[in-house]
Structure 1
Amino acid sequence: MAIIYILLSAIILLLVITIVFAYRASTPKNDEALVGVKFQLDNIGMNLNKIEASVKEEISTNRTELTKSEKGTRDELSSSLKTFGDLISNSIKATTDLQKTQLETFSSHLAALTKTFEGKLQAFQETIVINSKESRKELKEALDTFKTDLNMSLKDFSERQRENFNNLIQTENTQTAATATKLDAMRDTVEKKIAALQEGNEKKLEEMRKTVDEKLHDTLEKRLGESFKLVSERLEAVHQGLGDMKQLAVGVGDLKRVLTNVKTRGVLGEYQLENILDQLLTNDQYGKNIKTKSASNALVEFAIKLPGREDTGKSVWLPVDSKFPKEDFELLMNAYDNGVPELIDEHRRNFVRGIKKCAGEICERYIDPPNTTDFAILFLPFESLYAEVLRTPGLFESLQKDCKIIITGPATLSALLSSLQMGFRTLAIEKRSSEVWDLLGAVKTEFGNFGNILDRTQKKLTEASNVIEQAGKRSRAIERRLRTVQEIPKEQAIIMLGELPELEEDTTDEIIDSLDS
Structure 2
Amino acid sequence: MLEWTLVALAALNLLLLLWLLLRRADTSLQNELREDAERQGRELRNEVQESARGTRQELSQTLSLFQQTLLTQQGDVARTQNEQIDSFRTQLATMQQQVGQSLQAATQSLVQLSQSARESQDASLKRFADAQGERLQALSQGNERGLELMRTTIEQRLQSIQADNEKKLEQMRATVDEKLHATLEQRLGESFKQVADRLEQVHKGLGEMQGLAKDVGSLNRVLNNVKTRGVFGEVQLAGLLEQVFTPEQYATNVETVPGSGARVEFAIKLPGQRADGVPLWLPIDAKFPREDYERLLDAQERADAPAAELAGRAIEQRLRLEAKTIREKYVAPPHTTDFAILFVPTEGLYAEALRRPGLSEALQREFRVMLTGPTTLLATLNSLQMGFRTLALEKRSAEVWEVLGAVKTEFGKFGDVLAKTQKKLKEASDTIDAAQTRTNVMARRLKSVEGLSDTRTQTLLPGLDADAATDEDVS
TM-score norm. by structure 2 comes to: 0.47
